[in-house]
Chains A and B, each alone.
Chain A
Amino acid sequence: MSLIECRHLGKRYAGSKEALLDINLTIQRGELVFLTGHSGAGKSTLLRLLALIERPSRGSLRINGHEISHLPDVAIPRYRQNLGIIFQDHRLLPDRNVYENVALPLRITGAEPRIVAKRVRAALDKVGLLDKERSFPAQLSAGQQQRVGIARAVVNKPALLLADEPTGNLDPTLSAEIMRLFTAFNQVGVTVLVATHDRSLIRQFAERILLLRRGRLQGDSHA
């Protein structure tokens, strides 16, 4: 069964024209997929639909075989606990240290402190920031902040990682570093969907590229 399956998926924001139109696409478990296209093409919109931040206007969106476009509001938190979301501006909480930022998704579920500690350290270890757990976000560099954001996204061991311009604020070297983290997670079976305009990153890392143009899926190519 495929992990993501869109059929005739469309999104139209209230009082705006179609942001996504008739998207048909299937992503298998374990794929690393790049989502690209000009500004306003609908990349973020597709990710927001997948995270149920927005609801589709039409068509069907199946995750793991389950239709989620009409998932009741109360079920959304549970659904998101199985996702890892990474943002361009990391969105760490400034008044909590690195450890607590990464622990947030586990605290929400009421996880045992022993398990929280184990998983947070494992996640920080993977992004190479084990020594920074007592630091606050403001004390970190941009690249480190983004890595903490990634640690937070993977701490729950999600099956699917969604990243919206994760390297948008970083220089090419740091961007490549972040991408290498994604490929590492991908190699252990996590499905990764990255939206980016960065052509050099795509050239370097892409296995599969989805090209959006004015809300339509224009290309779906394997590198």
Chain B
Amino acid sequence: MRKRWPVLTRQGFKALLRQHRDALLVSLTHLLKHPVTTVLTLGAIAISLALPGVLYLLTTHVNAAFSGWDNRQMSVFLEPGSDTQAVSMVTEQIQALGSIARIETITPEQGKASLQASADLQTALATLEDNPLPTVLVVHPDVSLRSAAELESLAARIAALPGVDDLLLDQAWLEKVSATLQGFQRLSIVVAICFGALVILVIHIGLRIELLQRREEVTVTKLVGGSDLYMQRPFNYIAAMYGFLGASLALLLIKLIVWWLSPQLAALNELYGSHFQLRIPLRFAVTLIVATSFISLLSTSVSMKILLKQIRP
């Protein structure tokens, strides 16, 4: 009845600590008393995070794998059956066009060997009697060639050379790959947002049911002088724990999925000669845990504010 400013005295601080300890205890007992709800909620959060998480990690990593690639290089496919003489003639002619840093030659045997390294392709190759692969010249332009127009004009001139069957400008398909990857990355964010919203909704509905069941307790607590904050605290702890544990479980799931995908990733590495390893970056893990806990806490506290206002003695 006397008006007092909320000065935090030593005693007040101790009381606050006790209130928090009580709230923490209440929330822990709540989680343990309702193991099914707890596990289901954690599972829902973990799955909703793991799916977009894996998608995001995969696209980021594949993107990184390709970024080491010289995207200005072009693959020149010679006519099938070209002999060594024909190959060196074309090589010289390309060199003569200028602006060439170096040219690698991949013979049909080398091509077959590299493909055979991939277990999945081995069986496919075994069915082929002859080696159908053409000789490929990998042309690396030098630094003087920068613009796409210059690259394309060089490519056109190479393609016109006798003995050349086909030409693939890596830049073009790399750009396609990169655009596709970016698309997937955006998709993973959209999926994350949708799932996130779903989880928030589920938490809100869960809180509503919980509060309706405990309506009498909430009312009585209000009547004997409990503030909304006092009643909210245990729920805040529950939310933070859900966020933390759910995100940790999601990381575990992601790890599991990555492990399950590792043969496919290894095959990809062999095909493109890259050496990337799909690991969960620490920053990703920390961000996932912190952001999930924070969002869970924030949405719960907003939900509770709204719901507690509705319960009046």
A111 interface residue, CB < 8 Å from B? yes
> Nearest Cβ in chain A — how far from B79, in angstroms?
85
CB <8 Å contact, B1 and A152:
no
A107 interface residue, CB < 8 Å from B? yes
A180 contacts across to B, CB distance below 8 A:
none
B68 interface residue, CB < 8 Å from A? no
CB <8 Å contact, A63 and B223:
no
Q: Which of A79, A85, A107, A110 has the most CB of B within 10 A?
A: A110
Count of chain B residues near A, Cβ 8 A: 25
| Chain B residue at minimum C-beta to C-beta distance from A109 | B15
CB-CB contacts below 8 Å: A61-92 with B: 63-64, 66, 74, 77-83, 85, 91
A113 contacts across to B, CB distance below 8 A:
18
CB <8 Å contact, B221 and A110:
no
A78 contacts across to B, CB distance below 8 A:
4, 225
CB <8 Å contact, B18 and A80:
no
CB-CB contacts below 8 Å: B221-250 with A: 221-227, 230
B217 interface residue, CB < 8 Å from A? yes
CB <8 Å contact, A110 and B217:
no
B313 interface residue, CB < 8 Å from A? yes
CB <8 Å contact, B225 and A108:
yes
**B18 contacts which of A91, A105, A112 (Cβ < 8 Å)?**
A112
CB <8 Å contact, A77 and B227:
yes
**A63 contacts which of B1, B230, B312 (Cβ < 8 Å)?**
B1
CB <8 Å contact, B216 and A93:
yes
Q: Which of A79, A108, A152, A159 has the most CB of B within 10 A?
A: A108
Known: A53-B313, A93-B216, A108-B230. A85 touches B223 (CB 8 A): yes
> Nearest Cβ in chain A — how far from B33, in angstroms?
11
| Chain B residue at minimum C-beta to C-beta distance from A83 | B225
| Chain B residue at minimum C-beta to C-beta distance from A87 | B223
CB-CB contacts below 8 Å: B2-56 with A: 2-4, 14-19, 22
Q: Which of A63, A77, A91 has the most CB of B within 10 A?
A: A77
Q: How far is the CA of A9 from the CA of B113 in the complex (A)?
A: 97
**A93 contacts which of B2, B15, B17, B220 (Cβ < 8 Å)?**
B220
Q: How far is the CA of A53 from the CA of B219 in the complex (A)?
A: 11
CB <8 Å contact, B22 and A53:
no
A109 contacts across to B, CB distance below 8 A:
15, 225
Q: How far is the CA of A10 from the CA of B2 in the complex (A)?
A: 24
| Chain B residue at minimum C-beta to C-beta distance from A63 | B1
Count of chain A residues near B, Cβ 8 A: 28
> Nearest Cβ in chain B — how far from A174, in angstroms?
22
Q: How far is the CA of A81 from the CA of B19 in the complex (A)?
A: 16
A51 interface residue, CB < 8 Å from B? yes
A127 interface residue, CB < 8 Å from B? no
CB <8 Å contact, A91 and B220:
yes
| Chain A residue at minimum C-beta to C-beta distance from B217 | A93
| Chain A residue at minimum C-beta to C-beta distance from B15 | A110
A104 interface residue, CB < 8 Å from B? yes
B220 contacts across to A, CB distance below 8 A:
91, 93, 104
CB <8 Å contact, A152 and B216:
no
Q: How far is the CA of A64 from the CA of B14 in the complex (A)?
A: 29
A63 contacts across to B, CB distance below 8 A:
1
A93 contacts across to B, CB distance below 8 A:
216-217, 220
Q: Which of B19, B22, B313 has the most CB of A within 10 A?
A: B313
Q: How far is the CA of A66 from the CA of B222 in the complex (A)?
A: 21
Q: How far is the CA of A82 from the CA of B134 in the complex (A)?
A: 92
> Nearest Cβ in chain B — how far from A173, in angstroms?
27
Q: How far is the CA of A143 from the CA of B285 in the complex (A)?
A: 58
Q: How far is the CA of A79 from the CA of B1 in the complex (A)?
A: 6
> Nearest Cβ in chain B — how far from A95, in angstroms?
8
Q: How far is the CA of A159 from the CA of B2 in the complex (A)?
A: 12
Q: How far is the CA of A78 from the CA of B176 in the complex (A)?
A: 65
Q: How far is the CA of A189 from the CA of B205 in the complex (A)?
A: 47
Binary B-proximity of A126-170 (CB < 8 A = 1, otherwise 0): 000000000000000000000000001000100100000000000
Known: A63-B1, A110-B19. A85 touches B224 (CB 8 A): yes
CB <8 Å contact, A105 and B1:
no
> Nearest Cβ in chain A — how far from B234, in angstroms?
12
CB <8 Å contact, A66 and B15:
no
| Chain A residue at minimum C-beta to C-beta distance from B3 | A66
| Chain A residue at minimum C-beta to C-beta distance from B309 | A73
User: Can you give 5 A-B contacts (C-beta < 8 A)?
Assistant: A85-B223, A108-B221, A108-B224, A108-B225, A112-B14
Known: A64-B2, A81-B225. 10 other contacts (CB 8 A): A74-B227, A80-B222, A83-B225, A91-B220, A108-B224, A110-B14, A110-B18, A110-B19, A112-B15, A156-B224
List the interface of chain B (C-beta within 8 A of A).
1-4, 14-19, 22, 216-217, 219-227, 230, 312-313
In the complex, the 7 A-B pairs of residues with the closest C-beta atoms, listed nearest first: A110-B15, A81-B225, A80-B225, A77-B227, A110-B19, A105-B224, A110-B18
